Chain A
Amino acid sequence: MKARLPGIALVLIAAVYGMQVLKIPVPSADALEAMTPRTLPAVLAVALGFIGLVMVVRPASSETSMEASLSGASNVWLRAVGLLLLGLLFAMLIDPLGVLFASALILALALYLMGIRRPVVLIGVSLGFSASLWLLLVVVLGLFLHPGDLWTADV
């Protein structure tokens, strides 16, 4: 079953994409043309579905999963998920806090998540990163970085 998983994934992608392709409007003037806005997407959906089916029916024996190379430790997965969540938090905080402050904060949290506990490293790396960013973007490249809605909003 595991060997067939990639093929099943492809068939599912092709099916979902194919259904969306059917919703692409075709202008009446183009309806009789050899190629409409729907033609290539439809061909791609069929081709991907076909490849997926072949991989389901005849999975190549040399195709191996990457599972072995990934760590099974739960804390590793938690760290990866944590980094992604911090990325989402960064997206939410970047406008209210501004690029430099949000970067320093999220980097410090990410370092903590990765197991760094020494305050000098946490603060040094995150502030050093933001300071380098300011130097490069504002001083060298002359870009305007919005300081953040929170600091500039009228009270």
Chain B
Amino acid sequence: MFEGLDIGIQTAFTPFNVLMVMTGCFAGTFVGMLPGLGPATAVALMVPVTYSLDPAAALILMAGVYYGAAFGGSTSSILINAPGDSSSAVTTFDGYPLARQGRAGKALAIAAWASFSGGMLSAGALLFAAPLLSIVALSFQSPDYFVLMLMGLTAVSALSGPGQVLRSYAMAILGMMLATIGTDGISGVPRLTFGQLELIDGLSFLLIAMATYALAEVLLVVLQNKAPPENAVHTTHLRDLVLERNEIREIAPAIGRHSLLGFFIGVLPGAGATLASFLSYAVEKKFAGAGARPPFGHGNLRGVAAPESANNAASTGAFVPLLTLGIPGSGTTAIMLGALIAHGLQPGPRLYVDHPEVFWSVIVSMFLGNLMLLVINLPMTPWLARLLRVPQPVLMPVVMMFCLLGVYLVSFDAMDILVMIIIAVAAVALRWLQFPLAPLLLGFVLGGYLEDNLQRTLILYDGGWQFLWERPASLVMAVATLVFVGWSLLRRNQATGL
């Protein structure tokens, strides 16, 4: 591990990669602040830029954008009561009341320290957990990979919100359907190409990610047409960003508790930062009891610290299944997985062996990134917050242009813009019908690999399915898959009252 860590430090601390961490954190904070645009959008917008970078720098940049956006999301939650994304929605509960009381700087400082601590603690946990899991996963063969991918897809759907279970399964299947377009990996037969040569290689991952997560978000923000909230707090001063000793004593235990909780939730595929922040808020509220002063929801400092530490820890925890198993736990990590595949890398246990500089440098860069968020971005918050004054009618067309150019500048094919617009319209329709899009992206990214591994497995086992009980790893994961499916269907039945 120490040898790997050494490689990681050497790679992450090259001037260029340090610049990538800084750029990622800054760009992530910038986009994450914009109401309605969260980490997934921020990372999707960054994907075209990563194509000109080496894989390590690309992943470092995207990771920086990811936790930078989580940090930025809390700023708009606190100052204008409009979360950048769902994972920072809980921060509005106590963050915005604090801002209304004239303590916006305090709330921002607590959010920053909580995010920093959550990020650092979980990066430490990632440092130990990821290599261990990679070593176990190295013994995996095609049958195990097939079942693992099936488990990843079902876990994402099973852990989705109430009333979303079947919708999530449907979206994962739809994503896999999109992945079947193009040439079949084993037989070389073109499938569902409608005779179009452009479809022989299948749909571009970048196009799907940009359309569903970036352009569709722009359209939804326009369609939702939310007026800026009244009493928005746009200004804060540097002196307000300093925490007093009694405040640190009050929030420190909560940060410790929820950093761990967030990390473990983040490791679960599909659970993600949103569940982590909501759960940690509920747990901390119970922990504080009825005697909490001020009450939760009225500007309690722990009400800001708990969800902020949990969501940043969960963002880091999501890298465990991504780096070690090649299974993205969320839409954002699915975008990263797709971008890495486009770089010719297959995240998973072989990444640890074949590309240790990528594996370790991204972990090391997280320590650096979290430090930068605190040291550079926090003092800049009063100035960054001015961004929130830029009206949405100006911001949204600019973001739309980024989307259109992002796709065009990779292929230099105007046809891709047309396809992206069609997919974005379909994505808006799916969102309108309350279908979650993260499982679709996961299904798209994992679908091809799932099919390849199943084909290889069936050739190895002469068309039989005995690998499901003959291989211990496959057996364990198959049982887990059945448990996920059974449990999720039970939840749905309870929700429908059946």
Binding site for B on A (CB under 8 A): 5-6, 9-10, 13, 17, 20-21, 24-27, 30, 33-37, 40-41, 44-45, 47-48, 51-52, 54-55, 58-67, 69-71, 73, 76-77, 79-80, 83-84, 87-88, 90-92, 94-95, 99, 103, 106-107, 110-111, 113-116, 121, 125, 129, 133, 137, 141, 143, 146
* Chain B residues within an 8 Å CB radius of A103: 401, 405
B433 touches A65 (CB 8 A): yes
Residues of A near B165 (CB, < 8 A) are 60
Residue B463 is within 8 A (CB to CB) of chain A in the complex = yes
Quick one: which of A5, A41, A51, A64 contacts B180, CB cutoff 8 A?
A: A41
Q: Residue on B with the closest CB to A27? A: B187
Is B224 part of the contact surface with A, judged by Cβ < 8 Å?
yes
In the complex, which residues 381-436 of chain B have their Cβ closer than 8 Å to any Cβ of chain A? Answer: 392-394, 396-398, 400-401, 404-405, 408-409, 412, 414-415, 417-418, 421, 424-425, 431-435
**Which of chain A's residues has its CB closest to B416's CB?**
A91
26 contacts between A and B (CB under 8 A): A9-B433, A17-B177, A24-B189, A24-B192, A40-B176, A41-B177, A48-B174, A60-B166, A61-B163, A61-B497, A64-B434, A66-B432, A67-B432, A80-B223, A83-B218, A83-B397, A83-B400, A90-B417, A91-B404, A91-B415, A92-B414, A107-B397, A114-B392, A114-B396, A133-B405, A146-B412
Q: Is the CB of B418 within 8 A of A88?
A: yes
Residues of B within 8 Å of A61, CB to CB, are 163, 495-497
Please determine whether B223 and A70 come into contact, CB atoms closer than 8 angstroms. yes
Which A residues touch B222, using CB under 8 A? 76, 79-80, 83, 114
Known: A65-B433, A70-B224. A33 touches B463 (CB 8 A): yes
Give complex CA distance A71, B432 in Å. 12
B290 at the binding interface (Cβ < 8 Å): no
Instruction: Check: B14 CB closer than 8 A to any chain A CB.
Output: no
Number of interface residues of B (CB under 8 A): 63
Are A6 and B435 in contact (CB-based, < 8 A)?
yes
Taking CB as reference atom, which chain A residue is nearest B415?
A: A91
CA distance A13 to B401 in the complex (A): 30
Q: Is B141 an interface residue (CB 8 A)?
A: no
Most buried by B among A48, A60, A69, A137: A60
A84: which of B52, B173, B425, B458 is its contact (CB, 8 Å)?
B425
Residue-wise interface mask of B (433-457) relative to A, using a CB-CB cutoff of 8 A (1 in contact, 0 not): 1110000000000000001001100
The one of B167, B187, B192 in contact with A36, judged by C-beta atoms closer than 8 angstroms, is B187
The residue on B at minimum CB distance from A111 is B397
Query: In the complex, which residues of chain A have a beta carbon less than 8 angstroms from the beta carbon of B223?
Result: 70-71, 76-77, 80
* Most chain B CB inside 10 Å of its own CB: which residue of A35, A54, A64, A77: A35
Pick the residue among A37, A55, A71 that contacts B191 (CB under 8 A).
A37
In Å, the complex CA distance between A69 and B432 comes to 9
Q: Which residue of B lies closest to A21 (CB)?
A: B192
Interface residues of B (CB under 8 A from A): 52, 162-167, 169-170, 173-174, 176-177, 180, 184, 186-187, 189, 191-192, 215, 218-220, 222-225, 392-394, 396-398, 400-401, 404-405, 408-409, 412, 414-415, 417-418, 421, 424-425, 431-435, 451, 454-455, 458, 463, 492, 495-498
Cβ of A94 and Cβ of B414 under 8 Å apart? Answer: yes
Rounded to whole Å, the gap between the CB of A77 and the closest CB of chain B is: 7
A87 and B400 within 8 A (CB):
yes
Q: How far is the CB of A117 from chain B (nearest CB, A)?
A: 10
If A99-B405, A111-B393, A114-B394 touch, whether A63 touches B225 (CB-CB below 8 Å) is no
> Does B397 contact A40, Cβ atoms closer than 8 Å?
no
Contact B166 A129 (CB under 8 A): no
Which 10 A/B pairs are nearest by Cβ-Cβ distance?
A34-B463, A110-B397, A114-B393, A62-B163, A91-B417, A71-B225, A37-B184, A63-B163, A37-B189, A91-B414
What 17 new A-B contacts, CB under 8 Å, besides A37-B184, A62-B162, A114-B394? Answer: A6-B435, A17-B192, A35-B186, A47-B169, A52-B170, A55-B170, A61-B163, A64-B163, A66-B431, A70-B224, A76-B225, A88-B421, A90-B417, A91-B404, A91-B418, A99-B409, A116-B394
In the complex, residue of chain A having the shortest beta-carbon distance to the beta carbon of B497:
A61
B409 pairs with A137, CB closer than 8 A: yes
Determine whether the beta carbon of B434 is less than 8 Å from that of A65: yes
Collect the chain A residues with CB atoms within 8 Å of residue B164's CB. 63
A5: contacting residue among B170, B173, B417, B433, CB under 8 A:
B433
Question: Which B residues touch A83, using CB under 8 A?
Answer: 218-219, 222, 396-397, 400
Q: What residues of B have a CB within 8 angstroms of the CB of A76 in the complex?
A: 222-223, 225
CB of B394 within 8 A of CB of A58, answer no
Which chain B positions have C-beta within 8 A of A73?
225
B364 → A minimal CB distance (Å): 26
Contacts known (A37-B184, A114-B393); A48 close to B414, Cβ less than 8 A = no
- Min Cβ gap B451→A in Å is 5
In the complex, what's the smallest C-beta–C-beta distance from A68 to chain B, in angstroms?
Answer: 10
Q: Residues of A contacting B169 with CB < 8 Å?
A: 47, 51
Tell me if A71 and B434 are in contact (CB < 8 A). Answer: no
* Residue of B whose beta carbon sits closest to that of A23: B192
